[in-house]
Chains A and B, each alone.
Chain A
Amino acid sequence: MKYLNNKLSIKAISVFCVLLLYLAPSYSDELEERRIKISLAIFPKIVAVDQDLESKLPRDNDVRFLFVYDNNKSRAEALSELLKDKVTNIAGKPVRVVVINVRDVSLIFTERSAAIFITERLDKTQFDKIVRVGVSEQIMVFSPYAGDVERGATVGVAIGNRVRPYFNIDTLNASKVNILKKLLKVSKRYE
């Protein structure tokens, strides 16, 4: 009996540990998912305060966003669909989302884009490449992931008592993106 009890206890502990291992990342993923959705709502608003947005529109005058992925294209596409469902235009201009692999992002765009949205966590090389593209094209690189603004992304979100835009001032200055000073004043800044 005692042996059985011990055996059961071990099993229960094992199950608990497995559940913990299984649930812990899923809980983390869930938080990240929420963060991405919040970011997706803020992203077009931040793009909208770009004072030079007009000059970054392609010939068809669409506001073109690049949704960059590395391995998970379907996710990037799902996010683009989500954005398109909620945001149809920015300042009256239609929104167009291009889902693109990070390896396919060229330093010289053949077609103008308004901003880049990172849809999944990128390794340092790829991330730095995207940041360099944003600087050279003078567009914002938006990353919904925590810590990416500190790594060099132009903008992200700071979630505290309230949700605020989070700017990397160095990257912002380097990319020469001209945003409303009023927004910069009420946003969180990384300097």
Chain B
Amino acid sequence: MNDFFKRLTTRITIAFMFLVLIVSAAIYYYWSSTIVTMIYNGEQTKSELLVSYYSQIFESILDEKDAQKLDRLTNELILLTDEKSGWPLITELKLELFDGRVIEKRNDGHDKSGVKFEVETPIFSKKSQEMLGTLQVFYNGRFYQELINNTRKQMLWAIGIIALILLLVQRFVSGLLKPLRIMAQGLNVIDLEEYHRLPVPRKGVSVEIQKVWSAINAVFERLKQRDGELIAEHRAVEAALRDKLEAESASQAKSQFLANMSHELRTPLNAIIGYSEILQEEVLEGGHEIYDPDLRKIHSSGKHLLSLINDILDISKIEAGKMQLYIEVFDLYQVIQDALITVRPMIEKNGNDIVLRCDENIGLMRGDKMKVRQVLQNILSNAGKFTHQGQIEMTVNHAVGDGKDWFNFMVKDTGIGIGEEQLGKLFQAFVQADASTTREYGGTGLGLAISQGFSRAMGGEITVESKLGIGTRFNLRLPVEMEGNGETEQSVMPAEKIQTVITNGGVGGDRVSGHAGPASEKTLNQENESRLFETKKVRYEKL
């Protein structure tokens, strides 16, 4: 910016110098071509007029042949003087007559110019018309020189005044630019961290410049203010981000801890459930029915505890972004049937009817079979839990949308419904409609959060519509063909994305766990599983 003003000032100075040179050259040209010539011609004219006048007198005197008069006339002519300066008009006079007479007179004491205006004129006789001779006169060149000197002085004064005026104009223009230059300098040295004010304009600076100055200062003030706000905002964002990272870290640690703990808990719990089943069978076979109710309580409590632990394990995996999908092609109708069989006892326990609207040949689905079944079980059991003496209707169909094939599941109940306020929290983990719901209906509040997490992991979505006291409708949409091959780990499933509505208590169902426990526990479970298989046929037959 300073360079710009320096260049501008230099250019203006050069332009003015150039202008002075041009003006000087023009004046000099006018001087040499016109003024000098005019002055010279003027002096020449004066000399010629003077000689013309005197030549007439000489002609008359020569006709009279009066030598005294002629001498007087020549003296008069040579003594003619300028009254102002006192300089002689004629410096030299020569009257040359053809009769041989030559009268020559000089008066060049004052003429030091070296310039002479020579005029020579013939002298005729007025009587005989004959030419008597010539009169040669040298007019004083000092007048010319004086005029030249005076005019030259005036010219130089004029040039000087013009140069002075141009210099003043240049100074004025530079003066106009000076505040701008100072402002530019001020702007250049401004520390953006501090926003110093511009230096106070000097007196004499124009109002317009002062206004610009004030405007720039005002801009600085606003920038400073905004900078302060931005810094505060930035700090707040930083703090929030730090808190968020800490929270996420803590959440991840918690999820990791829960996952580990759930796994550690599940291993011995499976042993308890397995051994309680074995004991039940052995007690019945041994005729010790008295122990059967206690064993049942141990078994059901163990199962409940296992389901809770499974839920916690699932939600932990979802939140930690470590949930794995096992993609395979399966018959969807069969999976729906399996889910219904699982949840039917609970639905029927509350006196509900269940209706399934689904084509037996709805087709194959490519996805995680177990998770699809678990999601369906969760939604259905949720509906069964909050509906008494009502109807639960499940509709499944095939649809196309967003360039994909989809399976749409709709589970509609005539249960207690959900208030608008609670709908927003429905898919949040560990949250139920209200505290009373937990007390009345039980459950951990994880079922729908897990279902939403599974659905999204598979590329689908659960939505819910409900009216308090009338009923609820869950819509599940899952892609017919899930992308990926074989075992797929869902890398990130942020916790805040899992929004849920109502949580039900029991989410049962069999679980397949990929985790392996310690060697001693494994041995225990292996023993337990081998004894379980022995009784499974009986349970399925019952169903």
Given contacts A161-B45, A162-B52, contact A45 B129 (CB under 8 A): yes
CB distance from B448 to the nearest CB of A (A): 106
Q: Are B120 and A91 in contact (CB under 8 A)?
A: no
For residue B124, CB closer than 8 A to chain A, the reply is yes
Do A161 and B128 have beta carbons less than 8 Å apart? Answer: no
Q: In the complex, A126 Cα to B438 Cα: how many Å?
A: 147
Do A90 and B122 contact each other (CB < 8 Å), given the known contacts A161-B45, A162-B49?
no
Task: Tell me whether A180 and B52 are in contact (CB under 8 A).
Answer: no
Cβ of A186 and Cβ of B121 under 8 Å apart?
yes
Query: In the complex, which residue of chain A has the Cβ closest to the Cβ of B131?
Result: A49
Q: Determine how close the nearest CB of chain A comes to the CB of B55; give it in whole angstroms.
A: 8
**Which residues of B are found within 8 Å of A161, using beta-carbon distances?**
44-45, 48-49, 52
Which residues from chain B sit less than 8 Å from chain A, CB to CB? 44-45, 48-49, 51-52, 120-122, 124, 128-131, 133-134
* Size bin of chain A's contact surface: 20 to 34
Which among A91, A160, A185 is the interface contact of B128 at CB below 8 angstroms?
A91
Which chain A residue shows the least CB distance to B133? A182
Contacts of B121 in A (CB 8 A): 162, 164, 186
Complex contact A90–B128 (CB within 8 A): yes
Q: Tell me the dominant secondary structure on chain A's binding face.
A: mixed
Q: Is the CB of A48 within 8 A of B52?
A: no
> What residues of chain B lie closer than 8 Å to A187, measured between beta carbons?
122
Pair B131/A92 contact, Cβ less than 8 Å:
no
Chain A nearest CB, measured from B47 CB (Å): 8
Q: Which of B44, B45, B122, B128 contacts A182 (CB 8 A)?
A: B122
Across-interface contacts of B51 in A (CB, < 8 A): 162
> How many Å from the CB of A159 to the closest CB on chain B?
11
Which residues of A does B touch, CB under 8 Å?
A: 44-45, 47-49, 87, 89-92, 160-164, 180, 182-183, 185-187
Closest A residue by C-beta to B96: A182
Contact of A186 among B45, B49, B52, B120 (CB under 8 A): B120
Bound: A44/B133 CA distance, A: 16
**Bound CA span A150–B500, Å:** 124
**Docked pose: A49 CA to B129 CA in angstroms:** 9
List 11 A-B residue pairs with CB atoms under 8 Å apart, sorted by A's residue number: A45-B122, A45-B124, A49-B131, A87-B129, A89-B129, A91-B128, A91-B130, A161-B48, A163-B52, A164-B121, A183-B122
Which residues of A lie under 8 Å from residue B134 when comparing CB positions?
182, 186
Since A162-B49, A186-B120 are in contact, a sample of 4 more A-B pairs with Cβ atoms closer than 8 Å, ordered by chain A residue number, is A87-B129, A90-B128, A183-B131, A185-B120
Contact B131 A89 (CB under 8 A): no
Residues of A within 8 A of B124 (CB): 45, 48
Q: Within 8 Å CB of B131, what residues of A?
A: 45, 48-49, 180, 182-183
Residues of A near B122 (CB, < 8 A) are 45, 182-183, 186-187
Query: What 8 A-B pairs are tightest by C-beta distance, nearest first?
Result: A161-B48, A162-B52, A48-B129, A44-B129, A45-B124, A161-B45, A186-B120, A90-B129
- Chain B: CB-nearest residue to A90: B129
